[in-house]
Structure 1
Amino acid sequence: MTQDQVFGPFLATVFLTLLVWVYMYIRRIGFITSRKISPQDLAAPGSLVHIWPPGVSNPSDNLKNLFEIPVLFYVLVLYLFITKQVDAIYVNAAWVFVVFRALHSIVHCTFNLIMLRFYLYLFATLAVWFIAIRAAFIYFSV
């Protein structure tokens, strides 16, 4: 196993964020143009927050969410790479994180079934905590 294999899930998470960002703008622009909202109407802070339907607000909320726990994931991946600790267990856990985060984003941005979304988020986050706890255990046991 090479150390750089951990960048597969790292980059997949970056591109997941890009896809959600693009999808968010597609939904927003579609809503704004269909409602014939003028650019000046967008100037007041929070003016559209109350009229966004879930199909428009959910991708935005998901994008914000991709700058929470995934930030810990990025830091952990960089830590593992710099300290040359990448192994198959870490890489597999990282892919588990990516798969469940992608599924979470799909659910959040589309039909938004809350309990399903919760469990997908939980499993993804548990993968990150597993990586963090294992790295800490190895660090403190040396």
Structure 2
Amino acid sequence: MEKYGVAPNGETVTEDLKTKIPPHIRWQAENYNHLHEQPTIFYAVALSLALIGDSHPYTVYAAWGYTGLRILHSLIHATVNKVMARFSVFGTSSVVVAGLTARLAQLVF
């Protein structure tokens, strides 16, 4: 932030980040923030499935598939940041985490 003249002032920092920081650097910061959103749901669901002992092949493949999709999403976001490519990967990963959530609900209820 110092390199680009962004002052840690609560009133101007958001606007400065958008205008003074180059896009390729902002993409990496935005991607980091995104890793605190939907993936946290995945962590809770995957941990719950593991704790109840679900080792069905679908569960294992879906969990690894979700992980791979999120890695791919991060790579796209941090490098080329093509929105439609990111959206396609995000949509697919959303379906996978929804399937894992449904699997958890099926086993619990």
Q: TM-score range by the shorter chain?
A: 0.7 to 0.9
Q: Cα offset for 1:42?
A: 3.0
The yes-or-no answer on 1:132 pairing with 2:97 is no
Bigger RCO (CA 8 Å, 6+ sep)? 1
The yes-or-no answer on 1:102 pairing with 2:71 is yes
**1:56-86, Cα deviation, whole Å (9 max, x unpaired):** 1111111110011110111011111111123
Q: Cα offset for 1:124?
A: 1.2
Percent of paired sites with the same residue? 27
Runs of 4+ in 1 over 2 A off after TM superposition: none
Which segments of 5 or more consecutive residues in structure 2 lack a partner in the other structure? none
**1:77-116, Cα deviation, whole Å (9 max, x unpaired):** 1111111123221110011101111111111011111101
- Give the Cα separation in 1 of the matches to 2:63 and 2:36: 16
Taking structure 2 as the reference length, what is the TM-score of the superposition?
A: 0.86
Taking structure 1 as the reference length, what is the TM-score of the superposition?
A: 0.67
The yes-or-no answer on 1:44 pairing with 2:9 is yes
- Give the Cα separation in 1 of the matches to 2:53 and 2:103: 14
Which AA in structure 2 matches 1:106?
Answer: L
Q: Could you tell me which residue of structure 1 aligns to residue 28 of structure 2? A: 59
Q: Could you tell me which residue of structure 1 aligns to residue 90 of structure 2? A: 121
- Give the Cα separation in 2 of the matches to 1:86 and 1:112: 35
- Give the Cα separation in 1 of the matches to 2:74 and 2:25: 14
- Give the Cα separation in 2 of the matches to 1:42 and 1:92: 45
* Aligned-CA RMSD value: 1.7
